[in-house]
Amino acid sequence: MVEPGSFRDDNGLTFDEWRERKADEAAAREAAAQAVSTDQRFAALERRFKARLEEVAEAVALSFGDLRGEIDERFREAQTDFSSFLKEARSLIRQSRSEASERRTQMAAIQRDYEKLALEVEKLRQELVDKRRKSLRAPK
């Protein structure tokens, strides 16, 4: 007879270990997807900034003489765009770090809960085994 909690799959994992591994893998996939999303945001911002910078360079080439004021205005716009890009990039980095830290904290809490539950399950299993032994030894 198989004791409760003693089942192991072909890889030697218990159901709880398998479930924990799957949860870890799902969290890793989610973190990877978020990293890809962040990279895509950075790439879009970089493209936007480069396009704006090219406009500024073209304006400088075309209007070097009389359009000095327009050049300055476009340069300020490019600086503003770049400043916005940097602010957004820093914000994304802080957000990613914060979310990663939160996920690590959550994973640690889940691990502690898992360990507590595993101990409790083992204790209950042992109590069940002890009760069975007592009932088998009791005179009938």
With a cut of 70, say whether residue 86 has pLDDT above it: yes
pLDDT tens for 22-55 read: 898 998 899 888 888 888 988 888 898 888 888 8
Query: What pTM was estimated for this model as a whole?
Result: 0.36
* CA–CA gap between residue 122 and residue 4 (Å, rounded): 9
pLDDT tens for 88-101 read: 999 989 999 999 89
Phi–psi pair at 89, nearest 5 degrees: -65, -45
